Chain A
């Protein structure tokens, strides 16, 4: 896939993707949004692009109509290069869970312009988070199932963060939120200056 410097995109795209801009998370932490993106020529290309053995790029970047119109309807699409890293962690999770893992719509990468989370930084804006609503035949909509798979996710390593079960902010009750924090990826050949 072609790698694109977000700073060279059109003004309209930069206003929505906000490459290199600082965003504050709900705890007050400040983070710099990703700069490097894969250019995805078409939705068909995203469906055909295998990130790992069991995850396609489309599954990690599907959004609904709450995403900014330009980013949904105009080609090409842009997704952070870290999505491939997320895919590898999800592949490991799948291996440990011994079942297929399903990421919800809006549950992978979504832009800072997405209406679900426009005010604050979330790893979803970095392409390093996945909302998993189902593992095999198990729907993650109870404390028991969410916590069971949270333990499996955490067993991968300390860099994996899951949200606890609950109904309040920072908690989940109908999916497992799995993320790697605010990771950015600078591909070889790309300069940060």
Chain B
């Protein structure tokens, strides 16, 4: 990315922050075509919302490669979890979860591969907590450490309200998410076979109102969204038919009253696309 383009992108990010009255924006981009990296508040910590599920997916595949689990193993679907604060029981609210299909399996079992797919493509909170319980937070952290991903803190499952009230949440930086998705494009952390499977799951993402929303139809985006009342994020790999991909993380924070915040992330994505491809 030429310096002038980088300046224009920074100006556009500033405009979007003002237009949507956002408190903070974090952006990180790595472009494989030109070998350039762009960062804007990329080391600032944000509540990770559901973007941390990308790390859970990599941890599941890492465990599968180590033969600690099999992707076709069946796991009991049980909606009962323990808070990390006091061990109290909590459940995932089925009405708020984005994935009713996993809730319909309560009492029965699902393949780990299917839970992983639901966790990413429909951001299933129930599937996420089941996988975290089975793989273990410690193993997920170890995976991040061994993969060299810095700037992501995973401490708990989703909807642990006791922990949330105490300010204990999963957090990430934009740089960490870019590092995470770069593991799917380069290096030897996972075999190419596993990387392709993981990329395919991210490509099947069903929530498309942010990162891909304003990109041209010829690009294919492998990504993971994350939204809570004050944070709206999207991160992933933008693939082209005739150009090397770029990896991008877009993190935003604002008041709950922000109007249609997903549009801000979509505008950021469009600005990055123009800067990277111009």
Asked if A65 CB lies within 8 Å of chain B CBs, one says yes
Chain B residues contacting A141 (CB-CB under 8 Å) are 79, 91
Complex CA gap A139/B104 in Å reads 11
Asked if B80 CB lies within 8 Å of chain A CBs, one says yes
| CB proximity to B under 8 Å, residues A95-145 | 102, 104-107, 133-134, 139, 141
Asked if B37 CB lies within 8 Å of chain A CBs, one says no
Chain B residues contacting A134 (CB-CB under 8 Å) are 107
Known: A173-B89, A174-B78. A65 touches B73 (CB 8 A): yes
Query: Are the C-beta atoms of B89 and A167 separated by less than 8 Å?
Result: yes
Chain A residues contacting B78 (CB-CB under 8 Å) are 104, 174
How many chain B residues touch A (Cβ–Cβ < 8 Å)?
Answer: 19
Query: Are the C-beta atoms of B107 and A104 separated by less than 8 Å?
Result: yes
Chain A residues contacting B220 (CB-CB under 8 Å) are none
Query: Are the C-beta atoms of A174 and B76 separated by less than 8 Å?
Result: no
| B74 contact from A64, A102, A167, A174, Cβ within 8 A | A64
Asked if A84 CB lies within 8 Å of chain B CBs, one says no
Q: A-facing mask of B57-80, CB < 8 A → 1, else 0?
A: 000000000000110011111111
Q: A-facing mask of B108-135, CB < 8 A → 1, else 0?
A: 1100100000000000000000000010
Complex CA gap A134/B80 in Å reads 15
Chain A residues contacting B75 (CB-CB under 8 Å) are 64-65
Query: Are the C-beta atoms of B106 and A65 separated by less than 8 Å?
Result: no
Complex CA gap A117/B88 in Å reads 20
Chain B residues contacting A65 (CB-CB under 8 Å) are 69-70, 73-75, 112, 134
Majority secondary structure of chain B interface residues (helix, strand, loop or mixed): loop
Known: A65-B69, A133-B107. A104 touches B76 (CB 8 A): yes
Question: What is the CB-to-nearest-CB distance from B275 to chain A, in angstroms, rounded to a whole number?
Answer: 46
| A106 contact from B76, B80, B91, B106, Cβ within 8 A | B76
Query: Are the C-beta atoms of B109 and A64 separated by less than 8 Å?
Result: yes
> What residue of chain A has the Cβ atom nearest to residue B73's Cβ?
A65
Asked if A61 CB lies within 8 Å of chain B CBs, one says no
Question: What is the CB-to-nearest-CB distance from B105 to chain A, in angstroms, rounded to a whole number?
Answer: 9
Question: 3 tightest CB-CB pairs across the interface, nearest first?
Answer: A65-B73, A133-B107, A105-B76
Residues of B within 8 A of A (CB): 69-70, 73-80, 88-89, 91, 106-109, 112, 134
Residues of A within 8 A of B (CB): 62, 64-66, 102, 104-107, 133-134, 139, 141, 167, 173-175
Q: What are 21 A-B interface contacts by the 8 Å CB criterion?
A: A64-B73, A64-B74, A64-B76, A64-B109, A65-B73, A65-B75, A65-B112, A66-B76, A102-B107, A104-B78, A104-B107, A104-B108, A105-B76, A105-B77, A107-B107, A133-B106, A139-B106, A167-B88, A173-B80, A174-B79, A175-B107
